[in-house]
Chain A
Amino acid sequence: MITKFHNQFLLFEKAVKGGIPLYLRRAFVLFFFLFSIHLFYTYIGTYNQLSTRPSSIHVWAQCARASVALNYYDGDMNFFKPKIHRSIDGEGVTGLEFPFVNYVPAVCYKLFGFNEAYYRGFVLLCMALGLLFFYLMLNRVTENPLLSFALTLSAYCSPVFLYYSNNFMPDIPSIGFTLIAWYFLFGYVRSSQESHRKLYLFLVFATLAALIKATSLVTILTVFGMVVLDYLKFYKTPSQQQLFLKKPRVIICLLIGIASLFAWYFWAHLLEQQYKSAAFAMSTVRVTDWATAREVWEIIYNNHRFEYYPYETYVFFTVVIALMVIGWKFVSRVYFSAFFIATIGNMFAVYFFFYQFKDHDYYIIPLTSSVFLMYLVFADAIKHVSIKYLSVLPYLFVAVLFFNLKEGVKWTRKDYQNRYNPDNVRYFDNTDVYNDLEPKLRKLGIGRNDKVLSGFETGWCNSLYKMNQMGFVFTTATAKEEMAHLLSLPQFKYMVVSDTVKYNHMFPGMLNYPVIASHRGLLIYKLR
C-alpha cells in the first residue's frame, strides 16, 4: 500500500510541476525565498536596528570596523591604507582583515551621504544573498522550496547569526560569500566543465570570504582536499571517472586564492609594524594549558551554547546525524567529503583561535559552514530516499522542521531583542552620549583632524568614532604619568571627559583648562 501511495504521489507531483511553465516555477522559487526571509527578518525585528549607531554587545569591535569605513569616506579612499580614529601621531593607519566590508559602505557614504544604515544594510545583504544561494543549492537537490527554506532557516536561525546579520562585523559577509562559493563549486562540478566561469566565480567568492575572515580559508582548503581525493579515485563511479576534469586548473585557482590571502596579511602586518597600531587581532590565539582550556570550555558551555543555536536545533542536528549514519548508502560522496573535510578544517580553526571563543560569540559564525554543508548532505539523502521509497518524505520533514523551528525562532527573537534592550545596551556600552556630539563640535569650530583626548573610554576608539574625531583615548587604567605626557603633546587641542569627578580623583590638578561646551554629561575642554 505504501508503494502504491508512493507511486501515486510521485505522479501527482510530476503532474503539478508539469502543468506550470519553467519560468513561473523558477520565479515562484525565488519569490518564496524573498517573501519568507523578509517575514522572518520582520518577525525578529532585524530592520529596526538598521539605522542604529554601533551599540550593545561588542560595541568595541563594531566601532573599530565602522571607524575604518568612516575614515575612508572622510579621507582619501586609499583602499590599501585603512585608518581608524585612534592614533597619537600620524593618520591612524592600521593593519586589519581585507577591508572590503568597510570599503563598500564608504563608497555608499560618498554617493548618498554618511548613514550607518548602508553599512548594516550591506552586511545584511551579503547574508541574505548567501542564504539565497544556499537555498537554491538545496532546491536544486530537493526540488522542494518548502524543505529547502526550512533547512536554510534551521541552519541560520541562531541568536548570534541574527545579531550580527545587520551589524558591522566581517564574519557575516564571510559566511555569506562562503555559501555563494559552494553554490558555484557544486555547479561547476555538475557541469561539463568545458566553461570555467563557475570555477572562477567560486575562486572570487571563496577568496573574498577568506580575505575578510581568515578562518574561512577552510573552504579553499576543503576543495584542495577534494582534489586530492579525486586523484585517489575516491569519486570514481560507473557513471563518472573523476570529479574535476581539469585538476591542474583547479589547483592553480586554489593557489591563487591562498596566495592572495597571504599577500594581504603580509601587507597588513607591514602596516601594523610601520604605523605601530594594534587595533585588530592579526595572529592566532591558542590555548596551551588544560586549565585555561577548561575555563574557556565552561564559558562556552554555560554562556554561549544557546546563543550559537537554540536547544531545538541541537536536537535536530542529532537527528540528522543519526539518520545519515543509518541511511549511509544514500549519502552523496561528493557532498559528504566536502562536509567532512570542512568540519576537520573548522576544528583546526577552533584550535588556533580557541581563547577568542571565550568572549567573542561571533567567532563561531564562519565555522557554521559545516552546519550548512551537513544540511546539504542530508537534503540530498532525503531526496534519494524519497525517490526510491517514500515520495512524501520531504513534506514529512517540512512538518518536523515547522515544529522544531517554531520554538527556535521564538528563542532567537527573544535573545535578539534582549541584546537591544536599553538596560543591556547601557550595561555593555555607555557611548550613546557621543552619538550626536559631532554637529556640536563642528559648530564650535573643532575640525575632524583637530586631535582630541577622550575618556573614560571603555573600548578602543568607541567615543572617537562616534564623535568622528581623530585623537587618542584614556581609560581607568591610564597611569598619571601617561596622562601628563598625553596632555603635554602639542597635537592634542581638546579634551572630552565623561566623568570629571573620576578624572579629578585619578589625575588631580590636571584639569585646569576652560570648559567650552557640555553635552549629555560630557564636558569639552580646550587644551591649547
Chain B
Amino acid sequence: MRCALLILSLLFFSCAQDPEVIASEHFYFSRPSDTADVRTAEDSSAKGHYILRLDSLHKFGFSFTHPLQEKDLEKRLIVTYKAKIRTNHIYSAGSMVIVLSHHDKVTHWRPNNLNRHIADLGRWNWFYDSLSLPKSTKEEPYNTITVQGLLGDAVNESFDFDSVSVYVKGLEP
C-alpha cells in the first residue's frame, strides 16, 4: 500500500529542465528630472508611481547591457522580457531592440515590434516574449547583449513602459 502511494505521488513529480538565468534587470522609473537620459511621467492611474514615456522627441528608453563570458557563449542563449505597455496609436512603432555587439562593433540589430501585444489602445497591456539569439560565430561574433526600448517612426504617438524585466538565459546546447 505504501509502495503504491509512493508511486502515485511520484506520478506528479516534475523533472523538466528550466534554463539558467545568466543575467537579469528590473527597471524602476523615478520622478522626471532635467538631468535624466529618459523621460518619465507620473502614471495617471496610480499617483506617485512613475512610468517611462517615449514619444517623437524621446525615442530611446531603458537600456540593459550585459557582457557575456566565454562559458555563456557556448550555451543556447535566450532573451526574455516582460512588461506593461500602453499606446495611443493604432499603428504603434514601439519596439524592444536586441543589439549584439563585439567590442563596440554591432553585429546584430533586431527590433521586435510590440504592436502584437497591444490588445487595447489607451490601456495597460501585460506581455511576455522571448527571442533566441544566434550562435556567436567567427564571421559574426558578439560578446555583449543590449536590450533597449525604442519608439520608431510613429508620429503623434506616446508609448509607455512600466514594470520592465529583462532576462538573459542559457540552455545546454
Contacts and interface: CB of A to CB of B under 8 A. Distances in A.
Contacts of B120: 519
A45 B171 CA distance: 15
Contacts, number: 46
Given A38-B11, A423-B132, A518-B121, A523 B4 contact: no
Contact of A43 (B15, B92, B118, B131): B15
Given A42-B15, A422-B131, A35 B116 contact: no
Contacts of A515: 90
A400 interface: no
Contacts of A422: 129-132
B115 A35 contact: no
B4 A520 contact: no
Main secondary structure of the interface of B (DSSP, over half): loop
A276 B91 CA distance: 38
B15 A31 contact: no
Given A35-B10, A39-B15, A521 B129 contact: no
A523 B90 contact: yes
Contacts of A295: none
A513 to B, nearest CB: 15
B36 interface: no
Contacts of A299: none
A277 B120 CA distance: 36
Contacts of A39: 13, 15
Contact of A45 (B16, B91, B130, B132): B16
A278 interface: no
Contacts of B116: 432-433, 520-521
A48 B132 CA distance: 19
5 contacts: A422-B129, A422-B131, A518-B121, A519-B120, A520-B116
B16 A42 contact: yes
B66 to A, nearest CB: 20
Interface string A420-452: 011100000000110010001000000000000
Given A35-B7, A421-B132, A521-B92, 18 more contacts: A34-B11, A35-B10, A38-B11, A39-B13, A42-B15, A43-B15, A43-B17, A422-B132, A423-B131, A423-B132, A515-B90, A518-B90, A520-B116, A520-B118, A520-B119, A521-B115, A521-B118, A523-B90
A277 to B, nearest CB: 31
Q: Interface residue tally of chain A, by bracket?
A: 20 to 34
Interface in A35-92: 35, 38-39, 42-43, 45, 48
Given A35-B10, A421-B132, A422-B129, A519 B119 contact: yes
Contacts of A45: 16
B14 interface: yes
A175 to B, nearest CB: 24
A1 interface: no
Contacts of A523: 90
- Residue from A421, A423, A440, A520 with most neighbouring chain B CB atoms (10 Å): A520
Contacts of A440: 119
B15 A520 contact: no
CB-CB nearest 10 A-B residue pairs? A521-B115, A520-B116, A518-B90, A31-B7, A42-B14, A433-B116, A422-B130, A423-B132, A38-B11, A42-B16
A116 B151 CA distance: 36
Contacts of B15: 39, 42-43
Interface string B1-20: 00010010011011111000
Interface of B: 4, 7, 10-11, 13-17, 90-92, 115-121, 129-132
A39 B118 CA distance: 38
A353 to B, nearest CB: 34
Nearest to A426: B116
Contacts of A43: 15-17
Contacts of B117: 520
Contacts of B90: 515, 518, 523
Contacts of B130: 422
Contacts of A433: 116
A210 B61 CA distance: 58
A27 interface: yes
Contact of A520 (B91, B115, B131): B115
A27 B132 CA distance: 45
Nearest to A424: B132
A432 B117 CA distance: 10
A436 B14 contact: no
Given A421-B132, A518-B90, A31 B4 contact: yes
A219 B15 CA distance: 37
A523 B92 CA distance: 13
Nearest to A39: B15
A88 B11 CA distance: 49
Contact of B11 (A35, A432, A436, A520): A35
Contacts of B17: 43
Nearest to B113: A521
Specify which of A39, A422, A515 lies most central, judged by the most chain B CB atoms within 10 Å of its CB.
Answer: A422
A520 B121 CA distance: 9
Interface string A163-206: 00000000000000000000000000000000000000000000
Nearest to B128: A422
A422 B132 CA distance: 8
Nearest to B11: A38
Contacts of A31: 4, 7
B136 to A, nearest CB: 17
B131 to A, nearest CB: 6
Contacts of B7: 31, 35
Contacts of B121: 518
Nearest to A38: B11
Given A31-B4, A523-B90, A436 B119 contact: yes
Contacts of B119: 436, 440, 519-520
Nearest to B130: A422
